[in-house]
Structure 1
Amino acid sequence: MKRRCAVLDDYQGVALSMADWSELRDAVDVVVHRRPITGQDALVEAVGDCEIVVIMRERTPFPAEVFARLPRLRLLVTTGMRNAAVDLAAAARHGVTVCGTASSSDPAVELTWALILGLVRHVVPESTALRDGGPWQSTVGTDLHGSRLGLLGLGKIGARVARIGQAFGMEVAAWSQNLTAERADAEGVRLASSLEELLETSDVLSVHLVLGDRSRGLLGAAELRRMRPGAFLVNTSRAAIVDQRALADALRGGWIAGAGLDVFEEEPLAPDHPCRSLPNLLATPHLGYVTRNNYQRYFTEAVEDIRAFLAGDPVRELTAR
C-alpha cells in the first residue's frame, strides 16, 4: 500500500517540476498544497491521512500540539537544515523523523542588495511614476560610495554583504554580541564599539542575526530613534528582531528615510496589514531563498530524504539539542 505524502506551501506550483519524483511513484502518492494553510485545525485536516509531509522553511509551524494530532505522521521533511517552527523534541516523542535539505545563502545576500539599491535610488516610486504618466524624476538618490554600511551580525551572510558593500566603496562596520575584533579584521570590517554607535553612524543598516532570546526585539523605538534621519534599515533575517510597531512609527514619523523588509511576523500578510501601505517601505514577500537553484536543491534532496527513510536509513536528520 502506498504512503501518502503532502507537499505544503508550494505557492508557485513548482515543487513537482523542480525534482524527479518518479522514483517514488510506486511507493508514495504525492499531494501538493499551493495555498497557505492557516491554523492547526486546517493543517490537521489537510495532512491527517499522511505519513510524510514536506514543508517549505518556516511557512507552516509544527509545534507539539500538531504532532499530537497527527498520529499517522512518520516523516517530516523541511527545506533547509534549521527550522525554528518545528518542535524537534515533540517530533521525537511522537516517533516522527525530521530531515532537512541543503540551502544556499547566496539568494539572501543578493536580495539584501536588491532592497538596498531599490531603497537608495527610489526604484519603485520612480518606476511607478514612469508607467503611470507621473512626473519625470521626482526623487534624489543616495550615494553608496563613501557612505557607511552597518551590519548587525557578521556571519556567513553578513560577511558576504560586507564584501559587496566594500566593492561599492562603502565604509563597513559591524556589531553583534559575540563579534570579536579578530573576526571583523578578517573581513576588513570595522568593529563598532556598541550597538548604539552602529545605529548612530550607519547610513544603511542591514540585519543579519539569528533569532534568539538576545536578538528578539533588539531594535525597538529607542534604538530606531538613534538612527540618522537619512538612514535606511534593511531586514532579510527574522522579523522579530525589529519591533514591528516601532518600525511603523519610525517610517510614519520620519525617524529614518526608509526600510526594506523581506520578513514579517505574520506571513502571508493580511490584506489590511500596515506593511502594505507604510510610506518609505520597500517590501517583498519573503523571497530571500526563493530562487531556481535553491528550489531544485530543496526538492531534489527532499526526494532523497523520502527515499532514504523508506529504505530504513534516514539522511540529514534533525534532532533537538
Structure 2
Amino acid sequence: MTSPAVLYTDPAWLITAAGHPDPVLAGIEQQILTGVDLRFGPHDGHRYLHDDSALHAAADGVQVLVVYRCQVTRELLDAAGPGLKAVIRQGVGVDNLNPALLAERRIPAYNIPDYCVGEVSAHTATLALALERRLIPQHQGLTGGTFDIYAGGVPRRLSEHTLGIVGFGRIGRAVARHLGAFYGQTLVFDPYLGADLPAGYGARAVATLHDLLAASDLVTLHCPLDPSTDGMLDVEAFRHMRAGAYLVNAARGRLIDPDALAGALADGRIGGAALDVFSPENPHTDPRWKPVLEHPAVLVTSHRAFLSTEAELSSRRRVAQIARDVLDGRPVTVGRVLPGLR
C-alpha cells in the first residue's frame, strides 16, 4: 500500500546556516508524521521555487500541502490531484492560501492563528517605542562619535498622545494591552466588531479608518490582507494622518502603497515609519521601496515579528499534528479557515 504524502512547499526552518535545505532538520515532522512520504519543495541554492514545474512534480499525488510563503494556485492544486485532503498555512495569515479557490475546489484549509501573538505584539511595541524614543538616531550618533541627547529630536510624552490600532483581532488586542499602557488613549478601527469589545480593553472604537488616522499619533496595522485592505494606506489615507504621526506595520506588506508612503515621508507629512513586512517579501527587489528604506526616519526588520525559538517549534508541531489528524480522518477545529467544508 502506498504511503500518504505530505509536501512542505517552502519551510524556512529546513534551511541550514549555509543557506541550503537539510531534511535532517525535519525531526519534529518525522516524529509526528510516521509512515508518511514527507516531501519538501525544490530549492535552487538561494530560494525555494514557488512557481516551477519541479514544485508541481513534488506535489503529485500528495494528500496534504503545507505552504509558508508559497501561493496556492490552480496549477499547484491540479498537480496535487484529486486525493488532496487539505492545505495548511504554516503561519497566521490566509492571503496566500487563496481561500476562494480552495472553497471552489471544496478543499479544507487551516492556519496557525495564535502561535506568535506574544512575539508580534512585543515586536510591534518595540518598533513603536524605538520610533517614539528616537533610539536609532541616538544609537547611530553615539556609536559614530557624537554624544548629544538631542540627536534625532526630542521625544514626546506618550501619556498625552493617542495610539491607533487598525484591526482588533488577537494581536491587535495584545498590542492594546501592552503598548496602550504608554499612551493617554487608544483608538480602534475594525469594521467587523462592535464598540463593546475595544472598550473591554480600555480602547474606544471609531467609525472609519480616516477617523482613526486623523486622531492618532501612532498608527499600527493588525488587519488581514483581503480585497478591502489591499493598499488601504494610500495617498488619500496619508492625507488624513495627523501631522508628525508614526506608522507601524507588522501585519502584511500590501496594506501600504509604497509610493504613497515614500511621498508622505518625503514631504514630512508623517514623522516616520517602522516596517516588518513588505510586498514583495524582499523590498530590495522592488525599486518603489528604495526611498522608504533610505529615509532616516524609517526603521525596518526582515519579516521576523513572529519569530522566537518557542513560536517556531510550536508552529511546526501544530502543523504536523493537523496534517496527521487530516490523514487519520480526525476532526480539526482550531485554525480551520474554511469551516463549512467537509
Q: TM-score, normalised by structure 1?
A: 0.82
Question: Is 1:262–1:284's contact at 8 Å kept on the other side of the alignment?
Answer: yes
Structure 2 residue 294 is the aligned partner of structure 1 residue 254: no
Q: Would you say the 8 A contact 1:103–1:298 is kept in 2?
A: no
Give 3-state SS (helix, strand or coil) of 1:167's partner: helix
Number of aligned residues: 319
Which residue of the partner structure matches residue 37 of structure 2? 28
Match of 2:240 among 218, 226, 244: 226
Say whether the 8 Å CA contact 1:150–1:199 is kept in structure 2: yes
For residue 244 of structure 2, give the secondary structure of its aligned residue in structure 1.
coil
Q: Is the 8 A contact 2:121 2:174 kept in 1?
A: yes
Which residue is 1:307 aligned to?
Answer: 324
- Residue by residue, what CA displacement relative to the aligned partner does 1:102-145 show, whole Å, maximum 9, x if unpaired? 53322221111011011112223332343444555422333323
Letter in 2 for 1:108: V
**Matched-pair identity in %:** 25
The more displaced of 160-169 and 87-96 is: 87-96
Q: Mean Cα displacement is larger for which, 176-185 or 110-119? A: 176-185
SS class of match (2:88): strand
- Tell me, in whole angstroms, the C-alpha distance in 2 between the residues paired with 1:179 and 1:314: 29
Q: Does 1:78 align with 2:83?
A: no
Q: Quick check: 2:162–2:186 contact (8 Å CA) kept in 1?
A: yes
Which letter maps to 1:220?
A: D
2:305 is aligned with 1:288: yes
Paired AA for residue 68 in structure 1: D
Structure 1 residue 250: Cα displacement = 0.7
Q: Which string of whole-angstrom CA distances, capped at 9 and with x for unpartnered residues, describes residues 3-60 of structure 1?
A: 554434333547946836234354334447675435522663573456243222xx11
Cα separation, 2, equivalents of 1:178 and 1:303 = 31
Match of 2:18 in 1: none
How far apart in 2 are the matches of 1:202 and 1:188? 16
| Per-residue deviation, 1:261 | 1.4
- Corresponding letter in the other structure for 1:284: T
2:114/2:170 contact within 8 Å kept: no
Indicate the residue corresponding to 2:138 in structure 1: 126
Q: Is the 8 A contact 1:305 1:314 kept in 2?
A: no
Q: What is the distance in 2 between the residues matched to 1:65 and 1:32?
A: 15
Counterpart CA distance in 2 for 1:308 and 1:153 is: 31
Q: CA RMSD in A?
A: 3.3
Conserved 8 A contact 1:205-1:233: yes
- Over 3 Å counting, the alpha-carbon distance change for 1:125 and 1:90 in structure 2 is same
2:52 aligned residue: 41
Q: Residues 180 and 45 (structure 1 numbering): CA distance in 2 closer, same or farther, change over 3 Å?
A: closer
Kindly tell me: are residues 156 and 134 of structure 1, through their superposed partners in 2, closer, same or farther at Cα, counting changes over 3 Å?
Answer: same
TM-aligned CA deviation for residue 61 of structure 1: 0.5
- Aligned equivalents of 1:179 and 1:214: distance in 2? 15
Cα distance in 2 for residues equivalent to 1:103 and 1:296: 13
Q: Secondary structure at the match of 2:122?
A: helix
Residues 80-95 of structure 1: pairs in structure 2 closer than 5 A: 80=91, 83-88=94-99, 90-91=101-102
- The SS at the match of 2:323 is helix
Structure 1: distance between partners of 2:212 and 2:220: 11
Amino acid at match of 1:76: V
In the TM superposition, 1:266-277 aligns within 5 A as 266-271=280-285, 273-274=289-290, 275-277=292-294
More helix by share: 2
Q: Using the alignment, how far apart are the partners of 1:244 and 1:94 within structure 2?
A: 34
CA shift digits 1:247-266 (9 cap, x unpaired)? 11111221101011122221
* Residue equivalent to 1:213: 227
Q: Give the gaps of 5 or more residues in structure 1.
A: none
Please state how far the C-alpha of 1:232 moved relative to its aligned partner: 0.3
Partner SS state of residue 322, structure 2:
helix
Quote the offset at 1:310 in angstroms. 3.4
| Aligned twin of 1:65 | 75
- Secondary structure class of the residue paired with 2:299: strand
Q: Counterpart of 2:67?
A: 55
The unaligned stretches of length 5 or more in structure 2 are 16-22
Q: Per-residue deviation at 1:157? A: 2.3
Instruction: Describe the shift of the 1:28–1:314 C-alpha distance in structure 2 as closer, same or farther (beyond 3 A).
Output: farther
Partner amino acid for 1:319? Answer: L
Q: Distance in 2 between matches of 1:176 and 1:2?
A: 45
